[in-house]
Structure 1
Amino acid sequence: MASKFPTKKSGEVDFRKRKGHDMTWSCDKHGEPIKFYCKKHKIPICHPCATKDHSQKPCDLDDIEDVIFERRRQLDEKRPKIQELQEQMKALITKIKTTSTSGSTHLQTINNNIQASYHDKIKSVGEKENRMIRVINEEADEEIRLVNEKRGKRIKYCNTERENERQIIKDKEAKILSEANTISESVSKKIKDLNNKNQHLINTITNIESTIKRISKHDETLVNEAPHLLASIDENLSSNVHQDVSDCLDRIQSEVERVKFVEGEVGGEYYGRIDGYIGKWELVKSIHIPSVVNESRVCGLVSDDEICVRGVGNRDMYVTNINTQHTEKVIDGGVWITSCAPIDSNVIVCGKERDDCTDDRLDGCITLYDRQWKVFRDISIPRNGCRFFCIVYVDVDRDGMIIAAQEDQSNIYVINHANGEIVDTITMPGKKVWGEIQALSSGDIVVKTGNQYTVISRSGEEKAVIQCDEWDWPQCRVDKLTDTLYIAYWDRARKVRRIVKYVKSERSPFNMFISPCLVTPSGNLVGFDGRKLHLYKKIFIL
């Protein structure tokens, strides 16, 4: 092995220092100056070592001066790349801080919007309470004792109702803020992980640079440790960690900017939620439909958590609550419901099928029900065509008006539910209704026209046609808050039901084909496989 020369004793000859160096380096075995480097054994040797132990092939010897010069040259060549990588790491620190600040600011704006919106709602409830109390007080002044007693009871009831409304609004606000906070925490955690990853590489490069400085001071250390250090430098230079971190930050920025707070009224009730991002749909729960619902078929939503299910075999009508998972019969036989929608918190409109239509008016194909499913009013529309069997589809637009259409016809009627009068007739040139009709918040209407969907304006103008050759039994439903269309269809080749994959049903597959994937006002999807309702919720992912 090579080592430094021993300390010079009296009478010994001084070794000449090698060219370009300020210290000597000798062989531990022979005490001779290091002259060569054996490539085969990867060790520095003196002249006797070269002659005695390394003279036979395949030992390949290099002059030690050349080896030292080459090792220094190799390290010097790496310095610019190291410095360039250090600059990139420093730039990423700024980008990380900018992305974190931008994301936090954007999400804080979302939180502020949510709080401002719900503050206005709570304030509106308070104003409503004050108006009612004023009316109650005016009535109470007419009959002192009896009215005062009545007033006290009504005020107590009013306060209870308003407090219940406030609590509902606060609960909704807390839920949405919780979802927003969950997104914020997810973003913060991801950015923290990226920062740690970047800092680890910075520390590694700093250690490499420190090591270079250390081993460059001694030839022996330089020769022995440089190969391993060079391999480490090459590994870190080719890792592309800085680019991966940068790309991930760009993706986070893009996903955060998608997040938004959406709000609006559906069926006379206010809804708000976090939306806008792509996310991922996760199955939350599955609700079994009792077998007593003979050949069940989903007809539509009457609230955020209530779904109408029709028994095709016995024509009974049921409502399934996806929160309580309870199914209750609401109409006993004889009714073919095609579609339903809430007008407000008290009234539901239903479209129906009838096989006894003979007059020039369709009576009993549109019915208003109260929340106890008692008939509130029947609405009549013109009967077109000579068919005895008539099908009518309905929905409710942004103004609370009913839109209704007879199948195999081109007219869509806009109806005032308060008096049942037709206020407008929309005609689609060259197309007919062949399924559900749905109102968008923009005022446009989505109509099933065969195996495709057509978007029309209130003047009947065709604005878009949505179709796909691979669709089989397509069913479209509209997200009333965002106007997003969800189309479920039967993929015959893969034998699955899309948008979401449903489990194989033991009941008639026909009902599964024609049942839509519903969209609740709170933004969840409800699929049906002929046996169970499946509730899906969208989650934010990075």
Structure 2
Amino acid sequence: MASRFPEGNQVQLRPRKGHDMKWSCDKHGEPIKFYCKKHKIPICHPCATKDHSQKPCELDDIEDVIFERRRQLDEKRPKVQGLHKQLEALSTKIKTVSTSGSTHLRTINNNIQDSYHDKIKSVGEKENRMIRVINEEADEEIRLVNEKREKRIKDCNTERENERQIIKDKEAKLLSDAKKISEVISKKIKDLTDKNQHVINTVENIESTFKRINQHDETLVNEAPQVLASIDENLSLNVHQDVSDCLDRIQNEVERMKFVEGEVGGEYYGRIDGYIGKWELVKSIHIPSVVSKPSVHGLVSDDEICVRDVGNKDVYITNINTQHTEKVIDGGVLITSCAPIDSNVIVCGKVRGGCTGDRLNGCITLYDRQWKVIRDISIPRNGYDRVYVDVDRDGMIIAGQLDQSNIYVINPADDKIVNTITMQGKEVWDGIQDLSSGDIVVRTVNNEYTVISRSGEEKTVIHCDEWVSSRCRVDKLTDTLYITYRDEARKTYSVDQVSRDGIIQARRIVEYEQSDRTNFMSPCLVTPTGNFIGCDGDKLLIYKKTYIL
């Protein structure tokens, strides 16, 4: 074993370049001159002669070994230093992305608060206007009218306070959603920061080890192999690239997120959306057995679903909050689609045989909220007595007849057709959906959906071979398309998420088995508050989207 000469009793050695001449053999007290590659130890000349002179021992000059070890360390040093610089730069990027994400989320919070502040202010102005009108009327009346005025003011205050409270509750929920998303992002940023710091600490330890083992040849020779192996192991992890990629993904997801708002059916809604997220099943509502063959045909409010019994043509409404299902129309009505015009009126597209002449009567019907018929709207008759309807952002009815190229824009106030949109070379195959831009999504072939402008111009064709048997519904706040289709081989229903530009953003965002109760496929609906509703033929499946990284 090699050691240093005892103080005061040192052997005078001829210095050699790069070699610590105080390093000697413990056994013979002779200078270390060789390195046995077989036993991996430094030895002196007597050791080499007596103990290591026979094969398989192979000896190298100790100076060559020292120089080679130093060369190997020197070769690795730039790589370690380069990684250190990368990790330091990555630390800066982490801070930048964290700051950017926080700033973006603060902007969303500010947008929410500004929007709801204006709405609360509008409610106050509305209240003041109503009170002024009430006071002007009451001033012209005697005591009884004054009593009536006071009662109406009290009722008005109560109604406005309820309205204000509803708005505040919606705002509080949105701010809570934004906070949860911010917490998810903050936790991910912290995890990445910790991961990066751990690697920085490891690299700094390696650099410290470099300095230590380079101080003495003995330490260098004995420990360099382990240090080199440790360097190779740690550098191969490529942690800095993984962290950087994750940061880029976080930044993209944050920038995609936005506060969306708008009116649907005459009622205001707002929520945080724009991201893909993950849809999780939160509720399953069994459709009563009295509905023999359920089929979903549309939303009549944020929490009310129109369900038709394909067997006897009864129409039901299921409330997803109370989970109660109520029959609203007795048999004989074959509804194709429905949509709310405002808080009082619902429009339904229907199938009705036996029509003659040049007008199609009874295929578009207005109902009140008690499902009493208000009146029918007629359109030109060109073939099949089947009509699909939707309501646009202006409260106009859009209606299309099966196998026809014309789509009509109808004013529900006077039933007049205000615009006739003619598609070029295509016909209505199935349902039609309005977009906020005014464009319309029409199913024009079995597995194809066409987006057309109000002038009839074809803007986008959305196609997928798997959509042979499919239904499409639009999220009215984001214009995102959700296309439900049947997978015959797996006996399941799947849903794809598609942008209004025709880009498939996500495949199979939800997937569920079809029931044996009925083979009629229902579309998946998206409520204005963000609930996603599917129907497997036996149950209504309620999904909520969560933000994930």
TM range (shorter): over 0.9
Equivalent residue number for residue 526 of structure 1: 533
Shifted more, 402-411 versus 124-133: the winner is 402-411
Aligned-residue offset at 1:507: 0.6
Q: Is the 8 A contact 1:18 1:24 kept in 2?
A: no
Secondary structure at the counterpart of residue 99 of structure 1:
helix
How do 1:430-469 and structure 2 match up within 5 A?
430-451=425-446, 452-469=448-465
User: Is it true that 1:135 corresponds to 2:133 in the alignment?
Assistant: yes
Deviations 1:210-239, CA, capped at 9 Å, x for gaps = 111111112211111111111111222222
Query: Is it true that 1:405 corresponds to 2:400 in the alignment?
Result: yes
Identical pairs, percent: 80
Letter in 1 for 2:398: I
More off after superposition, 288-297 vs 465-474:
465-474
Q: How far apart are residue 343 of structure 1 and its match?
A: 0.5
Q: 1:228 to 1:456 in 2, by over 3 A?
A: same
Aligned partner letter, 1:421: K
1:349 Cα deviation (Å)? 0.8
The match for 1:421 is 416
- Is 2:349 the partner of 1:354? no
Structure 1 residue matching 2:335: 3-state secondary structure? strand
CA distance in 1 between counterparts of 2:334 and 2:78 reads 79
| Contact 1:393–1:435 (CA under 8 A) maintained in structure 2 | yes
Q: How does 1:66-77 map to 2 (within 5 A)?
A: 66-77=64-75
CA RMSD in angstroms comes to 1.9
Q: Aligned pair 1:507/2:482, yes or no?
A: no
Does the alignment pair 1:2 with 2:2? yes
Query: Shift in Å at residue 319 of structure 1?
Result: 0.7
Match of 2:379 among 375, 378, 381: 381
1:395 to 372, 390, 395: 390
What corresponds to 1:15 in structure 2?
A: 12
Residue in structure 1 matched with residue 499 of structure 2 by the alignment: none
Q: Structure 2: how far apart are the matches of 1:522 and 1:86?
A: 48
> In the alignment, which residue of structure 1 is the partner of 2:182?
184
Q: 2: CA distance between counterparts of 1:161 and 1:381?
A: 40
Contact 2:491/2:514 (<8 A) preserved: no
Partner of 2:57: 59
The one-letter code sitting in structure 1 at the alignment partner of 2:13 is: R
The answer on whether the counterparts of 1:17 and 1:24 sit within 8 Å (CA) in structure 2 is no
Q: Gaps spanning 5+ residues in structure 1: where?
A: none
User: Which amino acid letter does the alignment assign opposite residue 191 of structure 1?
Assistant: I
- In the alignment, which of 487, 490, 514 is matched to residue 494 of structure 1? 490
Matching residue of 1:48: 46
The 3-state SS of whatever aligns with 1:157 is helix
Give the partner amino acid of 2:409: V
Shift in Å at residue 516 of structure 1?
Answer: 0.9
User: Does structure 2 conserve the Cα–Cα contact (< 8 Å) formed by 1:316 and 1:331?
Assistant: yes
Kept after mapping to 1: 8 A contact 2:5/2:22: yes
Question: Which residue pairs with 1:485 in the alignment?
Answer: 481
3-state SS, counterpart of residue 171 of structure 1:
helix
Determine the C-alpha separation between the residues in 2 that align with 1:75 and 1:195.
Answer: 29
How many residues are matched? 533
Unaligned runs of 5+ in 2: 496-509
Instruction: Select 2:147's aligned residue among 121, 146, 149.
Output: 149
1:368 aligns with 2:329: no
Measure the CA separation in 2 of the matches of 1:408 and 1:308. 25
Distance 1:250 1:430 in 2: 44
**Is the 1:8–1:14 contact (alpha carbons within 8 Å) kept by the matching residues of 2?**
no
State which of 259, 283, 291 in structure 2 corresponds to 1:285.
283
Out of 260-269 and 280-289, give the one that drifted further.
280-289
Residue 86 of structure 1, aligned match among 59, 84, 90: 84
Query: Could you tell me how far 1:333 is from its partner in structure 2?
Result: 2.1
Corresponding residue to 2:310 among 306, 309, 312: 312
Describe the superposition over 1:388-434 as per-residue Cα deviations: whole angstroms up to 9, x where unpaired: xx212111111101112222333222211112222222223433222
SS of residue paired to 1:208 = helix
Task: Determine helix, strand or coil for the equivalent of 1:334.
Answer: coil
Cα distance in 1 between the residues matched to 2:205 and 2:422: 76
Contact 2:409–2:418 (CA<8 Å) still a contact in 1? yes
Alignment of 1:225-374 (within 5 A): 225-374=223-372
TM, length-normalised to structure 2 = 0.93
Separation (CA, whole Å) in 2 of partners of 1:432 and 1:214: 81
| Counterpart amino acid of residue 56 in structure 1 | Q
